[in-house]
Each structure stands twice: as structure tokens, then as C-alpha cells.
């Protein structure tokens, strides 16, 4: 099982690809996902599922374009779509795409998931864990809780954990514990850290590193690039 971070920058876009033999799985679809896949010459017909951690724009901004390219290439195989129960943005984008065209050559199967759910897709087991993430605007102005999940992909005895955006919460610890590889939200700089932000919004790079020690290997994602 291989993991490719197509792109990840806080507030811009995050998209990750998990590959198991001839099957690809996309986790989040931020702006530029289609471009990144085409640049890597990924066979888009081998993408079996799209797993969205939550509905914020930097994680779903490229979803419509990816579905549109599936239509243009006349994809035949269904695509499985997963997003957290209660998320508003994800189904709205999917439904807007489906209702825009009456000539789709492929079926879009949607699945709402919650923490402790488990699904299987093309021989890969995916466990879902509840994350804690709030909506925010401006300079970390916290608004309200949003639905968010993390995914753990398991194939042939190896596991990859992807947190999406999250504060510190029990689900995050369970997600990361014992994983062969963990990709963890590492958004906050030292000068931004408060207890409230760590609980409700994002992890600091230092806190992500501490939690990453629960896995065999840890990679920070969703950082601000300088």
C-alpha cells in the first residue's frame, strides 16, 4: 500500500492518494486535485473511492472538476463517495453535479459515515474515526462544530491513518495508535496556539509530533507554507 500526498497546504488545498495494487483511493479533493492526478499520470479509471474528511473548501474545492473529468472520459465503473454524516457541503456538490447532467456514463454511490463505522472496498478495509473540528473565519475566529472524520486504510497487514482537520480528541488518538503511517493535521504555529484552538480547530506542529509518536511513522500535513 502506497501513500502519495498530492498536495497539502492549510487554507489552500489538501488531497491524498492511497494505492493498493491497481486500486486508488482519494482522501479529500481540494482545488487542483485533477491537475495533480494528471501530472502524475494516474489512471483515473482505477480510482475506486473518494473519501472526504469534512466539507471545508480547502478539502472539497476540486471535487466538481474531478467528477466532471470522469464524465468527459466516459467512465463506466461506479465511483464510491464517502463523507461524514451531517456534512452539508459534500452532498450539495455531488447532487449539483448529478442534476446538471442527464448523460452520465457512471454511477455515483454516496455513503454517509460516522465514527466507528467500517467499510470494505476492493480488498481494502477502511475504519472511520470521529474527529473534532469547528468552522472558523478570519484569524481563527471559531464559529460552530462541523462534522469531521478521519480514515484508517488497512491492506495486507499494513495501515495508513489520515486525520483530516482536527483538534485533540479521543478519536484522533484511536486513529493514530499503532498505525504504520499517520498523516496528521499540523496547522498551528507556536505563536497561534491556545487551549481552545487545540481542542476545537487544529493541532500545533508540536502536538501533532507528540501524537505521531503513537504510530510507527508520522508525516505532518495541512501546514501553512512559508
In tens, the pLDDT along 153-168 reads: 999 999 999 999 999 9
Is residue 104 domain-resident?
Answer: yes
| pLDDT(133) > 80 | yes
Q: Residue 136 has what pLDDT?
A: 85
Residue 125 grid cell: 478495509
For the chain, give the percent of residues with pLDDT over 70: 99
Cα separation, 35 vs 127, whole angstroms: 28
Is residue 226 domain-resident?
Answer: no
CB 185 within 8 A of CB 133: no
Q: Residue 67 has what pLDDT?
A: 98
Is residue 194 domain-resident?
Answer: yes
Strands (E), the chain: 2-9, 13-20, 23-27, 47-51, 79-84, 108-113, 118-121, 124-130, 133-137, 141-146, 149-155, 158-162, 181-185, 218-221
Helix (H, G, I), strand (E, B) or coil at 191: helix
* Strand pairing category for 79-84 and 133-137: unpaired
pLDDT tens digit sequence for 24-72: 999 999 999 999 999 999 999 999 999 999 999 999 999 999 999 999 9
Is residue 179 domain-resident?
Answer: yes
Kindly report the pTM of this predicted structure: 0.96
* Banded model confidence at residue 4, pLDDT cuts 50, 70, 90: very high
Counted domains in the chain: 1
Element (H, E) at 100: helix 89-100
Amino acid at each position: 500500500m502506497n501513500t502519495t500526498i498530492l498536495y497539502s497546504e492549510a487554507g489552500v488545498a489538501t488531497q491524498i492518494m492511497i494505492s493498493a495494487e491497481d486500486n486508488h483511493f482519494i482522501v479529500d479533493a481540494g482545488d487542483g486535485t485533477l491537475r495533480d492526478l494528471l501530472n502524475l499520470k494516474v489512471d483515473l479509471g482505477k480510482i475506486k473511492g473518494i473519501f472526504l474528511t469534512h466539507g471545508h473548501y480547502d478539502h472539497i474545492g476540486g471535487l466538481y472538476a474531478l467528477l466532471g473529468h470522469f464524465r468527459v472520459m466516459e467512465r463506466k465503473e461506479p465511483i464510491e463517495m464517502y463523507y461524514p454524516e451531517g456534512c452539508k457541503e459534500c452532498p450539495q456538490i455531488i447532487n449539483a453535479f448529478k442534476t446538471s447532467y442527464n448523460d452520465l456514463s457512471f454511477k455515483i454511490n454516496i455513503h454517509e459515515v460516522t465514527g466507528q463505522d467500517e467499510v470494505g472496498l476492493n480488498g481494502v478495509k477502511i475504519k472511520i474515526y470521529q474527529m473534532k473540528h469547528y468552522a472558523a473565519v478570519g484569524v481563527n475566529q471559531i464559529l460552530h462544530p462541523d462534522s469531521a472524520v478521519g480514515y484508517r486504510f488497512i491492506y495486507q497487514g499494513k495501515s495508513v491513518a489520515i486525520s483530516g482537520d482536527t483538534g485533540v480528541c479521543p478519536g484522533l488518538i484511536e486513529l493514530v495508535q499503532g498505525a504504520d503511517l499517520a498523516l496528521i493535521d499540523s496547522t498551528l504555529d507556536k505563536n497561534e496556539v491556545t487551549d481552545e484552538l487545540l481542542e476545537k480547530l487544529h493541532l500545533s506542529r508540536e502536538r501533532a509530533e507528540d501524537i505521531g509518536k503513537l504510530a510507527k511513522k508520522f508525516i505532518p500535513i495541512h501546514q501553512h507554507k512559508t
